[in-house]
Structure 1
């Protein structure tokens, strides 16, 4: 319980440290992010594993122990590999989330400062502003037009109005606020009463955990593809089994072969490898100074076709500095900069710093605040674009200059003169804040709407916000990549036009510019027609951003949207990729998919480039795994149709698919970025993974490999060699082919002789281990017994390597056709 006589300057640092030791960190009992046991057991939840286990049990009871051993070994290896990769991915995700720790503004030692929410203690004085997530339970001791969304506790989505109370022990419900709820309007100060598990949230046992990772559209698409493939393969294997029976093959042999084909056709390593690719993508994006909060963001980034960028802090430095003032009464202007100021954003901080410096007396600011205490206020709102504060005998209003000027008594000539100044300053890319005032006689304690009319015009503060280095080059890269950039700003149009001019973008005002007032008037249908041509949206409020995003998405665009305020949240959520800066409101961060650590537009472009690379790597893995599946199905089916013996045994197929190919498939996830990714148009929103290119490549790889292998098999059979010896040669040929053409899969845009095939050291090592395992399968006695293989001589190996190179050449020739098509699709 808190003391009644609390200090208005907050706790001291010493008091806070003592209370932190007494009450502990301000956090709820953490739910373990993931259990290693659950993660390990989840590896068995796969159609592949069910088929393998069933086949292993059946072969065991039929006393085919070698087949049973290899099947269960394959299950174990697949499980261990999947567990290892997913554990690594989970650890990476947990590390990334920890970078997004929440902070709160508190008053300690008489000064406002920002601390981690876990460091908040009972007795702390917390400053709450629009968009803040309330970090603990407490009582409001000051509140202005303050309302809170308590849906997380009550389920009610409507905001709840709150009021202040000076008696903490007897505070009414309307004065209490609770951990986890969100400020939707106004400003307030809260005295913390309970923290951690003592809060209402802690009592009811809810955890304010991070947004759970949802299954991404790509994962859903791949899972659906695997299910469809499983049904098709189920039908094919049934046909093969019945065909084998009809042609007089051994039932047990056909059963295990059918199971092996089913296993071969299901790309069991795909989901694990996909997780690895996306997690690596998140880590690479982090190196580029952005945090992807959700896996869905990583995969969607590559298809972004429009970036809706905020000018301030994204295209510009965001480090505002007052460079000039233009007041009718400078002394009153200095007072207004101190009094009508909530230190809410960089604009107000710069205003305060300027006034403090200009007053030049150490006690000047405190003296002004004592003489003119704040009696009432209307907090700044993005929709109204002004803040108003009431002091003894004085009302001050500040905000967008044209809004303030419209509320002031000025002659037509003065109005024209000042508006010309707005335009002149804007053309130099300066930002402006206007001021007005009213003086009152007698006692007045509340601001009414009528008080904000017929004010006296006071003048302007002029700010400079330099263009960010590297943004011009990033915009040029967007143009090459076919990505449209829309600049959305609350600033004056001439200011935004001047900034864009510095960045090399010339705006045609009649067709490429629209202001908020006009945007409000036009219908969604009309905006949908015009939005593609518009480059600059000026004087726009956050609610209108949602309208813009909807219009772009209705036109089939994949939209990345930047924002930072609580009112930006709906637009951020509506966008395909919501992007916020590190200093954004809690609500905006929760709606976003990506957080920029440096607030730089160039970072967005780099993240999109990384997204394109991620999708390319996914295509490479799909090509590699599906090509293997297709090759083995055609090889077995073709042999049966030609009434030939089986070219490879069931366990040999399992060895190739689950042991030889698993590591190279995962290694493709580590492929570095392809050159020229940003020289192509964005891929369409609904572009399939298995596009025409991949389907043709899979078909060519399968057919070319099978024609060569079937011809080899037929020729060997004519030589009256022992069947197990022939099957050993076919087994090695399959293994060598898959370990060779994985190098062709490294790039779908360049022939193999134009890149170093061994530059991916993970792939090189995995292929080396693949060959080592292949040699063990041929020369290690226990494996010879399991796999029914025989030792091969040097000439057989040289011959099979030659076939591998021949097959690789056929694949490269097919790639060349598509490379030529890619060149024609490039923008330049």
Structure 2
């Protein structure tokens, strides 16, 4: 039977009762009628290859490499090998990280309840097929389009599609669409459009209003790359012209090699690679701490956060609510109240509170005839029972009149940290009988009704509430005729690591805002227990709606109770309007809107699927104490990438200054490509790789790009000036006379000149450049650690060996008489001193984190 056979009148079990068979599912998978979405957690292998190989800078270096190879000076093409190594490392690192992240994302992929072969099964959302009978419960995301067969007070948040955040009630026969989420109630429907045919995937690509996490690093690096690209465009013709003037008589090979050296120095060949590797390695590192990074820039984003908004339940407390007791009010029989409470808790779509009550209070077996499911906006739930009337359970502050004396007793219980709920009776709930058509199929005819307690109550509950349940679900105020019957107390275990985690954030000048739907007195008591300076907790129902007034209230208050989902969102907006970078943690569907709008959304691993879907970070084991690890990773990424970017930009600035002065003085560019390959490898490439992945605890300070430009450009200019001075001095005292350059230093044969005197000016310039850049590296490596000292010493030793070992001297064309060495070192020392003075000047002006 196919989806066309979805019937309502044929004899025997119907599709809406039994769902598809295994054979029908296989048939639809074979036809491609499956809910595979275009969204992926990472790039494909082909995309990884293209992103690491087919770049504009690789194209520039590749063209220069080809030209150098044509000259026959193969040693000067060494930068081509570095290019291949960089790309290979980038591909390998991203592919390995992709495998780990994809595997973890698969393990935590969203799931959907479907009825197949008459049984309720949980399958990956991507495996839902056309015609599947889908069961929805609170917190689920709607995975595909369809028309409701049954509804038990089903309310959907359709903000992703309509922009309206108010929950929308849906009755049997209503169309529902993917991209929405269940905020209350339950229901069943057939998937009539899946995958690319679903509404959310047919509309514009931003229909879900997906917003990528802002990354200051990526924005700054992209800006730098634009600047550098334009510099290369301008410098290329200038370099060719100046080198033609200065070494053109030595042959076109000499012009090509010197010009290539100048342009190679302008290309930041490893900057993008090391930035990407830093992000990826952070994400992989966090997976070991049970943190799933759904957007890589979120690692950096948390380091910029200065306000964390968190819920009490699941964050400060373990999230496992335990039933403590029931206090019957005077005039009410305790056993009767207990039976009413047990009947309310006997709900297959129970939230955490009802589940905790149900685990301790047995069900009396009453027949449910109508239901008002719990809503975080309404803050109460209710049900009517055949022959027993209506019962209500919810927040006392909402259900009790403002002048009710019982409020004082509730406040007393809440002040001890308990959660307090009011259970009462009400004649305002309609006792809706189970309608014959729907209920009959759910209770009598449906095989799902015979699959244990859950299946039985689910079939009866979903189908049997009818129109009355939906009407009551829209009630914005407590039901009429409510008579308080008892107070229910529940307890939550405070997380043992909550105090330490909050103390960490306080030490890092990160403000905490506790935003909870619970009684503000209860929330305040828990907050005090974990060491927060609570002040006076505020009942969110008393807050103004005016954005300016709300901003002031949110700024000066730490603890808020009775906060609605829309208020949580408004709090985030108010803090952002005040210039704060906001992180929001949560686990319930009532947190989804706030998580979506926060700069960084953090969902608990045991939270609702709708919440995890919009979060940038998911704490897989639900431990709030992992956030300091994420913050530390973010700081490491920001600090280390800034160091790396400084090194590359300083090299670019040095090359540009050398190009300009070579043109001004009509002298050859001071270096051969092989010289810059040596300098780049030992002072930038290898050190940058380790610095990008090493620990870094420096606090975040705004102005990433400004700091790079303010240090790297003048430091690179200093290095360039030192190089030109050293080259001119060496040329005037060493090397060969100008009128003998062609005869003794020409490169017509395509090989390096064999007269070692021709090597001396370049040798002196290289020594000076190494001294200045090693000092730049030392400045950027501060504060020093043992491993950094070892790294720096190793690089200096390798550079020294390049001048001492005969084979290395010949390879790099170095010839360094002792006077030339001391002269070059002296010029380099002056340049290093200027870099140190620049660093200290900028450090004195920099704002303190």
TM range (shorter): 0.7 to 0.9
Identify the residue that residue 401 of structure 2 maps to in structure 1: 406
Identify the residue that residue 339 of structure 2 maps to in structure 1: 335
Correspondence for 1:397 among 385, 392, 403: 392
Cα distance in structure 1, aligned partners of 2:168 and 2:418: 39
Q: Give the superposition deviation at 1:802.
A: 10
- The C-alpha deviation readout for 1:162-220, integer Å capped at 9, x for no partner, is 434xxxxxxxxx26767x45344542342767898899789999999998978845323
Identify the residue that residue 39 of structure 1 maps to in structure 2: 48
SS in 2 for 1:406: coil
- The C-alpha deviation readout for 1:481-526, integer Å capped at 9, x for no partner, is 11111111111111111112112223332xxx4322222x341112
Identify the residue that residue 538 of structure 2 maps to in structure 1: 514
Q: Give the superposition deviation at 1:326.
A: 0.9
Identify the residue that residue 750 of structure 2 maps to in structure 1: none
Identify the residue that residue 311 of structure 1 maps to in structure 2: 312
Identify the residue that residue 437 of structure 2 maps to in structure 1: none
- The C-alpha deviation readout for 1:777-823, integer Å capped at 9, x for no partner, is 97279x94xx6x2577999999989998997787667656767778x
Identify the residue that residue 369 of structure 2 maps to in structure 1: 375
Contact 1:623 1:745 in 2 (8 A): no
Correspondence for 2:546 among 505, 511, 523: 523
Q: How does 1:135-146 map to 2 (within 5 A)?
A: 135=143, 140=148, 142-146=150-154
* 1:419 corresponds to 2:407: yes
* 1:548 corresponds to 2:571: yes
SS in 2 for 1:307: strand
Identify the residue that residue 562 of structure 2 maps to in structure 1: 539
Cα distance in structure 1, aligned partners of 2:165 and 2:428: 40
SS in 1 for 2:371: strand
Contact 1:9 1:111 in 2 (8 A): no
Identify the residue that residue 704 of structure 2 maps to in structure 1: 688
Cα distance in structure 2, aligned partners of 1:108 and 1:283: 37
Identify the residue that residue 190 of structure 1 maps to in structure 2: 188
* 1:350 corresponds to 2:344: no
Q: How does 1:532-681 map to 2 (within 5 A)?
A: 532-639=555-662, 641-642=664-665, 644-653=667-676, 656-657=679-680, 661-674=684-697, 677=698, 680=699
Cα distance in structure 1, aligned partners of 2:196 and 2:126: 14
Over 3 Å counting, the alpha-carbon distance change for 1:486 and 1:185 in structure 2 is closer
- The C-alpha deviation readout for 1:123-163, integer Å capped at 9, x for no partner, is 98754124412356777553123355789999999988643
Cα distance in structure 2, aligned partners of 1:525 and 1:154: 26
Identify the residue that residue 733 of structure 1 maps to in structure 2: 767
Contact 2:217 2:704 in 1 (8 A): no
Correspondence for 2:426 among 416, 427, 438: 438
Contact 1:697 1:811 in 2 (8 A): no
Over 3 Å counting, the alpha-carbon distance change for 1:191 and 1:559 in structure 2 is closer
Q: How does 1:13-52 map to 2 (within 5 A)?
A: 28=35, 34-52=43-61
Correspondence for 1:747 among 776, 781, 802: 781
Cα distance in structure 1, aligned partners of 2:341 and 2:15: 23
Identify the residue that residue 475 of structure 1 maps to in structure 2: 502
Cα distance in structure 2, aligned partners of 1:574 and 1:196: 27
Identify the residue that residue 362 of structure 1 maps to in structure 2: none
Identify the residue that residue 734 of structure 2 maps to in structure 1: 719
Contact 2:730 2:761 in 1 (8 A): no
Cα distance in structure 2, aligned partners of 1:451 and 1:301: 40
- The C-alpha deviation readout for 1:603-660, integer Å capped at 9, x for no partner, is 2233222211210011111122122222333345445545554321245435644798
SS in 2 for 1:265: coil
Identify the residue that residue 291 of structure 1 maps to in structure 2: 292
- The C-alpha deviation readout for 1:570-620, integer Å capped at 9, x for no partner, is 322221111111133233222211112233332223322221121001111
Cα distance in structure 1, aligned partners of 2:681 and 2:550: 54
Q: Give the superposition deviation at 1:400.
A: 0.7
My pick for the range that moved more, 730-739 or 89-98, is 730-739
Cα distance in structure 2, aligned partners of 1:320 and 1:271: 48
Identify the residue that residue 461 of structure 1 maps to in structure 2: 488
SS in 1 for 2:319: coil
Cα distance in structure 2, aligned partners of 1:548 and 1:442: 37
Identify the residue that residue 95 of structure 1 maps to in structure 2: 103
Contact 2:114 2:132 in 1 (8 A): yes
SS in 2 for 1:531: helix
Over 3 Å counting, the alpha-carbon distance change for 1:468 and 1:74 in structure 2 is closer
My pick for the range that moved more, 585-594 or 385-394, is 585-594
Correspondence for 1:387 among 368, 381, 384: 381
Q: Give the superposition deviation at 1:273.
A: 1.1
Cα distance in structure 1, aligned partners of 2:506 and 2:159: 43
Cα distance in structure 2, aligned partners of 1:218 and 1:529: 31
Cα distance in structure 1, aligned partners of 2:733 and 2:804: 28
Cα distance in structure 2, aligned partners of 1:524 and 1:633: 51
Cα distance in structure 1, aligned partners of 2:117 and 2:416: 42
Cα distance in structure 2, aligned partners of 1:373 and 1:768: 83
Over 3 Å counting, the alpha-carbon distance change for 1:208 and 1:160 in structure 2 is same
* 1:229 corresponds to 2:244: no
Contact 1:528 1:551 in 2 (8 A): yes
Over 3 Å counting, the alpha-carbon distance change for 1:439 and 1:81 in structure 2 is closer
Cα distance in structure 1, aligned partners of 2:141 and 2:661: 65
Q: Give the superposition deviation at 1:121.
A: 8.7
Contact 2:310 2:584 in 1 (8 A): yes
Unaligned 5+ residue runs, structure 2? 434-467, 737-755
SS in 2 for 1:384: coil
SS in 2 for 1:335: helix
Contact 1:133 1:181 in 2 (8 A): yes
Identify the residue that residue 429 of structure 1 maps to in structure 2: 417
Q: Give the superposition deviation at 1:277.
A: 0.7
Q: Give the superposition deviation at 1:11.
A: 7.9
Over 3 Å counting, the alpha-carbon distance change for 1:560 and 1:719 in structure 2 is same
Contact 1:470 1:602 in 2 (8 A): yes
Q: How does 1:249-268 map to 2 (within 5 A)?
A: 252=252, 253-254=254-255, 256-268=257-269
SS in 2 for 1:646: coil
Cα distance in structure 1, aligned partners of 2:430 and 2:548: 53
Over 3 Å counting, the alpha-carbon distance change for 1:610 and 1:49 in structure 2 is closer
Cα distance in structure 2, aligned partners of 1:491 and 1:157: 21
Correspondence for 1:128 among 127, 130, 136: 136
Q: Give the superposition deviation at 1:222.
A: 1.2
Contact 2:314 2:320 in 1 (8 A): yes
SS in 1 for 2:304: coil
My pick for the range that moved more, 200-209 or 427-436, is 200-209
Contact 2:322 2:490 in 1 (8 A): yes
TM-score with structure 2 setting the length: 0.77
Cα distance in structure 2, aligned partners of 1:353 and 1:493: 26
Q: Give the superposition deviation at 1:757.
A: 1.9
Over 3 Å counting, the alpha-carbon distance change for 1:570 and 1:149 in structure 2 is closer
Contact 1:398 1:435 in 2 (8 A): yes
Cα distance in structure 1, aligned partners of 2:426 and 2:146: 36
Over 3 Å counting, the alpha-carbon distance change for 1:472 and 1:113 in structure 2 is farther
Computed over aligned residues only, the root mean square deviation of the Cα atoms, in angstroms, reads 4.8
Contact 2:801 2:808 in 1 (8 A): no
Over 3 Å counting, the alpha-carbon distance change for 1:204 and 1:560 in structure 2 is closer
Cα distance in structure 1, aligned partners of 2:803 and 2:44: 38
SS in 2 for 1:144: strand
Identify the residue that residue 446 of structure 2 maps to in structure 1: none
Over 3 Å counting, the alpha-carbon distance change for 1:108 and 1:495 in structure 2 is farther
SS in 2 for 1:83: helix
Cα distance in structure 1, aligned partners of 2:124 and 2:282: 28
